[in-house]
């Protein structure tokens, strides 16, 4: 437990100080209406995912969500964060992943273990749709401060998380995309990655000699080449991003942009949780205390923060004054 007073202790808990310098590699096909991002979490995936004792099918789903959030957040043109949230009536009642524009990444899932055990007894390898059930998928962009958040919500549609995301972009953003999401446990630990392609709207950066039909053919060619990607290639630490992109798109002359770093991005602190506790009445704080301590667990990094009950000052309950 830190000796610093809780309301001043803004340091992170003891979580991995891990940065993947080339976690997201943006790329484009010159003079073609295609741009994309290659996301590879590397050892960061294991650091994030292994903090929770989830069944592998749930861990793989969270890993895919982290890779997708990282790929979409690093496309932001301003400071802020991007999050995806899925809520349903399946064994995984909530799936959440978010990433800041600086690449700080975190995520977790809420799991009904009894429901999951019953499902796995009959379906050993359930799809994302089976795990989540009926519900909704929300994408949120938060610029912080006084800026309004932008949120889009659609019903969960599709067997995989990639299918669900593509349904969102097709219905809410009218954006044509293709994506490959993968997360598996390898000999080096958990790995997660994503390949995201977008059809560029308008004429910016596109060869003016290409008419609509030629541009559409370029998009079909790019998606056909992207479909040859395997999860094994995507998650291979020994296959550099530039080499993988060349392997996929060398006939189209893929060019890369500045790579973006990803890091372990839980933003919890004793100060933040202490401020939450101080909003409770003293009677509620007394009820929370076990052996004179109040324990709050960060759902993202799975770290237990302990606060001595006598060190937390809550709101004093007052009886209504008589008229």
Instruction: Give per-10-residue mean pLDDT for the chain (323 aa).
Output: 48 70 95 94 95 95 97 81 95 95 92 97 96 96 76 95 95 88 97 96 65 87 96 97 96 92 78 74 80 73 72 58 48
Question: What pLDDT, on a 0 to 100 scale, did the predictor assign at position 9?
Answer: 46
Cβ–Cβ < 8 Å for 283, 316: no
Which pLDDT value is given to residue 244?
Answer: 97
- pTM of the shown model: 0.83
The per-residue pLDDT for 1 is 47
- Supply the pLDDT for residue 207: 67
User: What pLDDT is recorded for position 319?
Assistant: 47
Assess if CATH 3.55.30.10 describes domain 19-264.
Answer: yes
User: What's the rounded Cα separation, in Å, for the pair 62 and 23?
Assistant: 17
Asked if residues 289 and 65 have their Cβ atoms less than 8 Å apart, the reply is no
What's 169's DSSP letter? I
Map out the domains of the chain as residue ranges.
19-264, 269-311
pLDDT at 150: 86
Please enumerate in sequence order all residues whose Cβ is within 8 A of that of 12, keeping only pairs 6 or more positions apart, or say none.
266, 268, 269
Q: Where are the alpha helices (DSSP H) in the chain?
A: 43-49, 56-73, 113-122, 128-132, 161-168, 212-226, 231-234, 241-249, 270-277, 282-288
């Amino acid at each position: 437990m830190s000796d610093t007073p809780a309301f001043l202790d803004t340091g992170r808990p003891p979580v991995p100080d891990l940065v993947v310098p080339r976690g997201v590699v943006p790329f484009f096909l010159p003079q073609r209406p295609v741009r994309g991002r290659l996301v590879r979490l590397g050892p960061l995936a294991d650091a994030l995912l292994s903090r929770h004792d989830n069944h592998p099918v749930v861990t793989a789903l969270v890993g895919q969500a982290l890779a997708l959030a990282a790929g979409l957040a690093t496309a932001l043109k301003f400071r802020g964060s991007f999050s995806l949230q899925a809520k349903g009536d399946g064994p995984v009642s909530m799936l959440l992943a978010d990433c800041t524009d600086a690449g700080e990444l975190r995520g977790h899932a809420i799991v009904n273990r009894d429901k999951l055990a019953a499902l796995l007894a009959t379906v050993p390898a359930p799809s994302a749709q089976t795990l989540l059930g009926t519900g909704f998928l929300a994408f949120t962009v938060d610029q912080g401060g006084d800026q309004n958040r932008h949120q889009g919500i659609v019903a969960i549609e599709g067997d995989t998380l990639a299918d669900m995301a593509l349904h969102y972009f097709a219905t809410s953003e009218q954006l044509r995309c293709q994506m490959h999401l993968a997360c598996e446990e390898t000999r080096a630990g958990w790995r997660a990655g994503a390949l995201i392609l977008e059809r560029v709207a308008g004429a910016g950066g596109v060869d003016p000699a290409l008419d609509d039909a030629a541009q559409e053919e370029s998009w079909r060619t790019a998606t056909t080449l992207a479909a040859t990607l395997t999860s094994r290639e995507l998650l291979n630490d020994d296959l550099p991003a530039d080499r993988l992109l060349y392997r996929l798109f060398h006939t189209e002359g893929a060019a890369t942009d500045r790579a973006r770093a990803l890091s372990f991005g839980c933003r919890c602190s004793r100060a933040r949780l202490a401020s939450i506790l101080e909003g409770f009445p003293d009677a509620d704080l007394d009820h929370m205390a076990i052996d004179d301590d109040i324990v709050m667990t960060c759902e993202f990094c799975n770290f237990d923060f302990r606060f001595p009950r006598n060190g937390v000052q809550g709101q004093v309950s007052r009886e209504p004054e008589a008229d």
